[in-house]
Amino acid sequence: MTSVNDFSSVGATKVGGRKSGKAQPVPWTSDDAERHTRKAKTPALQALWAKVANEALERTGDEVRAIREANAIVARQVDD
């Protein structure tokens, strides 16, 4: 029987302190935004970062791409 913490069966890797795999992506919270971008200084921008990152992760299954997309959206909001 596979335990909740055993992701080896789904080919997951540990990225950025998170274990994930396409079978069970781990959603981010607004608290995670501070670790990934300095531009998300307000609660609203942090919530936006988490929303975009989670949607991109669900859509693509790629954590790195999801983080980059969320960072780009937050940066555009700050620059406006």
Instruction: Tell whether 74 is covered by a domain.
Output: yes
Cα-only R_g, the chain: 14
Establish if 7 belongs to a structural domain: no
Residue 41 has pLDDT above 60, yes or no: yes
Is 75 among the domain residues?
Answer: yes
pLDDT digits (tens, 9 = 90+) for 5-26: 443 334 444 444 444 445 455 6
CA dihedral over 26, 27, 32, 36, signed as positive or negative: positive
User: What pLDDT score was predicted for residue 26?
Assistant: 66
Q: Is residue 44 situated within a structural domain?
A: yes
79 CA to centre of own chain: 22
Residue 18 lies in a domain: no
Greatest CA separation for the chain: 51
Q: Give a yes or no: residue 2 inside a domain.
A: no
Residue 55 forms part of a structural domain:
yes
- Is residue 42, in this structure, part of any structural domain at all? yes
Q: How many CA atoms lie within 13 A of 25 on its CB side?
A: 17
